[in-house]
Amino acid sequence: MLQDNPELLAPVQYDEIRAVTARMHQQIGSRTIDSPSWEIVRSAKMATRIYAPLGTLMSLGDYVRVTRTFVEAFKASDDTQKSKRSAEDQSVDFTKEDAELNQLRHDLKVTEQFK
């Protein structure tokens, strides 16, 4: 019946579709780990295991949040390091925390090789 009478269909509300799509994007994004490289993800997962060792009760949501926090820290440190290499004459702040995060990533890579 609707195929024969398209005027019976309600008009499409594109704003509502956009709102639903935006909510879906936010919900999916809040439960995933977004990283520029697998190396950063591996380092973050290993750091999470050290932060919350075996036997520690941690929900999946907490695990994802802790891992995402490490990913974001490693990404920011990596971006600062790349900026420093690409900016020859410009002053780029490479803080003590950036150096410590890069050392942690290096140590985690070395530890992973001996597993």
Over residues 1-42, the pLDDT tens digits come to 556 776 767 778 889 999 999 999 988 877 778 888 888 888
- Element containing residue 77 per DSSP (H, E): helix 60-86
More confident residue, 63 or 30: 63
CA atoms of 27 and 16, how far apart (whole Å) = 16
**Contact indicator for 73, 101 with CB cutoff of 8 Å:** yes
1-5, 18-22, 54-58, 106-110: range with highest mean pLDDT: 18-22
Burial of 35 (0-12, 13-18, 19+ CB in 10 A): buried
Residue 27 Rama label (left phi>0; alpha psi -120 to 50; beta): alpha
pLDDT of residue 112: 63
Q: What's the chain's length in residues?
A: 115
Average the pLDDT over 44-57 and give the result.
84
Predicted confidence (pLDDT) at residue 99 exceeds the cutoff of 90: no
Would you state the structure tokens that stand for residue 102, as one six-digit string? 């890069």
Strands (E), the chain: none
Average the pLDDT over 98-111 and give the result.
79
